[in-house]
């Protein structure tokens, strides 16, 4: 695993709060037979090893969902989460990049789970599946229509 501070850009920092939840949007294509697939926590090539999440300390799961669907105009059926300790348990880092000034627009509390140091597809997939399993045990953190009725 890389040194915890190597490779961080100006404005990025490691998230230290182990119990802090990291919200992850669930796109409709990641739900099959009522179950969220492990793709939810596997970076795609366009992610360049940085799996987007948002921080519990900055936004609620509903606020994260609303920004994703209303401002970014992207599809989500709800929000799952893992916490920072669970990310660390997979030899990954949670990095806040919300203060990076590179011309990119980021959602409030934007962060990422850093997979960049993993060189094998199998290693990325295994860790992603493990994170999905942890998130699945916790269950939905927000689903439109469901949370509003409670």
Domain count of the fold of the chain: 1
Residue 86 lies in a domain: yes
Residue 1 lies in a domain: no
Residue 148 lies in a domain: no
Compute the average pLDDT of residues 34-60: 93
CB atoms within 10 A of CB 101: 8
The pLDDT tens digits of the residues spanning 63-80 come to: 999 999 999 999 999 999
Residue 27 lies in a domain: yes
Residue 5 lies in a domain: no
Residue 150 lies in a domain: no
pTM given for the model: 0.90
Write the burial class of residue 57 (CB in 10 Å: 0-12 exposed, 13-18 middle, 19+ buried).
exposed
Q: Which domain range does residue 128 map to? A: 13-143
Compute the average pLDDT of residues 26-43: 92
The pLDDT tens digits of the residues spanning 105-131 come to: 889 999 999 999 998 889 999 999 999
Helix (H, G, I), strand (E, B) or coil at 39: helix
Residue 82 lies in a domain: yes
pLDDT at residue 1 tops 50: no
């Amino acid at each position: 695993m890389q040194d915890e501070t190597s490779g961080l850009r100006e404005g990025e920092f490691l998230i230290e709060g182990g119990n802090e939840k990291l919200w992850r949007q669930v796109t409709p294509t990641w739900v099959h037979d009522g179950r969220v697939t492990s793709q939810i926590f596997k970076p795609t090539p366009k992610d360049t090893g940085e799996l987007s999440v948002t921080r519990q300390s900055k936004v609620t799961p509903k606020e994260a969902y609303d920004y994703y669907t209303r401002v970014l105009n992207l599809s989500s059926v709800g929000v799952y989460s893992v916490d920072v300790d669970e990310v660390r348990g997979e030899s990954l880092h949670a990095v806040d990049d919300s203060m990076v000034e590179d011309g990119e627009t980021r959602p409030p509390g934007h962060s990422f789970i850093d997979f960049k140091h993993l060189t094998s597809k199998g290693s990325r997939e295994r860790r992603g599946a493990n994170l999905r399993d942890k998130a699945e045990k916790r269950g939905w953190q927000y689903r439109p229509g469901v949370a509003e009725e409670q």
